[in-house]
């Protein structure tokens, strides 16, 4: 129905090759914001929300397969546009004792041009109720496009829309660490919900504790912050309350790819439908724990 709220994720979806136990390579589609959209769309708690994805892909056959895969998994492809000059990016996952390493081929990714038509981008934001993006969404864009995206998101927030942001800091994608950190904080200024990981915040901003991270992002203007901790204790807070969940079960991962993304999708599905901070954290941890028990970013349905 036209009046149903829309969760819109923005970013890059790539071809993923993950190595199976027998040494063969399995092809899938994944990318940080796409993974979150997938888990939001497939959450039992999303209720009446629709899910949509904003990106750009190629005109080749595999790009068409991604569009079909997206549609088949309950995610609207209305805002996926095709580029005659570019294709999908690609990455492979290798794991050692559950920890992943990636090799990427994404320089000619069509998603790098996803914000070239800022008018179309603004139309997509206007049609959404909650907008989700990440540090990787910004990292792959040209500098002037980043500023245009942040300006459009700031306008969307001023209209009362929820803006969810995962800093997801990947220094190799940025011109410099200083540009990365400055842009992440600029993005934090337009977001209402921020979902950082403690390790990367400690590495790049010098935060010692989850509480440090939470305070910095609340001071930046967020209404809600949930600090992930690699499967360990999670701190979630709004301006009115805080919740520290430290009795969650820690699992031994097979592949940690997509763990934080799945946490985000499950958490947002809960919070956007009025569930408590604690309930959202526990459900999101349960979801992420299931994801890391198999190879690749998306847990098979």
CB 260 within 8 A of CB 228: yes
Q: How far is C-alpha 241 from the chain's CA centre?
A: 24
Q: Which of 32, 83, 207, 261 is catalytic?
A: 261
Beta strand 75-76 with 50-58 is: parallel
CB neighbourhood size of 177 (10 A): 12
Q: Is 21 a catalytic residue?
A: no
Q: How far is C-alpha 124 from the chain's CA centre?
A: 17
Per DSSP, the residues of the chain read: -TTS-EEEEES--EEEEEE-TTS-EEEEEE-HHHHHHHHHHT-TT-TT-EEEEEEEEESSHHHHHHHHHHHHTTEE-TTEEEESS-B--EEEEEEETTEEEEEEE-TTBGGGGTTS-HHHHHHHHHT-SEEEEEHHHHHTS-HHHHHHHHHHHHHHHHTT-EEEEE----GGGSS-HHHHHHHHHHHHTT-SEE--BHHHHHHHH---SHHHHHHHHHHHT-SEEEEB-TTS-EEEEESS-EEEE--PPP---S--TTHHHHHHHHHHHHHTTT--HHHHHHHHHHHHHHHTTSSSSS---
Unique residue bearing structure tokens 């306008």: 155
Among all residues, which ones are annotated catalytic? Answer: 261
């Amino acid at each position: 129905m036209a009046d149903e709220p829309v969760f819109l994720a923005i970013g890059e979806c790539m071809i993923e090759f993950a190595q199976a136990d027998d040494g063969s390579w399995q092809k899938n589609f994944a990318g940080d914001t796409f993974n979150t959209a997938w888990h939001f769309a497939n959450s039992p708690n999303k209720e009446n929300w629709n899910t949509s994805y904003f990106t750009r892909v190629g005109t080749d056959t595999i790009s068409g397969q991604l569009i079909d895969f997206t549609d088949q998994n309950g995610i609207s492809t209305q805002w996926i546009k095709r580029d005659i000059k570019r294709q999908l990016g690609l990455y492979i996952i290798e794991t050692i004792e559950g920890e992943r390493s990636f090799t990427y081929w994404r320089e000619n990714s069509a998603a790098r041009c996803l914000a070239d038509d800022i008018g179309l981008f603004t139309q997509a934001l206007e049609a959404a109720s909650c907008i989700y993006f990440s540090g990787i969404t910004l990292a792959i864009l040209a500098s002037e496009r980043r500023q245009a995206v942040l300006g459009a998101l700031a306008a969307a927030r001023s209209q009362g829309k929820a803006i969810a942001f995962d800093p997801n800091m990947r220094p190799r994608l940025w011109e410099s660490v200083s540009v990365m950190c400055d842009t992440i904080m600029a993005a934090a200024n337009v977001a209402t919900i921020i979902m950082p990981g403690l390790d990367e915040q400690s590495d790049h901003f010098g935060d010692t504790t989850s509480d440090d991270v939470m305070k910095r992002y609340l001071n930046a203007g967020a209404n809600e912050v949930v600090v992930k901790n690699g499967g360990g204790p999670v701190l979630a807070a709004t301006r009115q309350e805080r919740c520290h969940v430290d009795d969650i079960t820690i699992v031994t991962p097979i592949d940690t790819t997509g763990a934080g993304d799945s946490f985000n999708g499950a958490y947002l599905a809960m919070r956007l439908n009025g569930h408590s901070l604690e309930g959202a954290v526990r459900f999101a941890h349960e979801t992420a724990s299931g994801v890391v028990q198999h190879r690749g970013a998306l847990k098979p349905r």
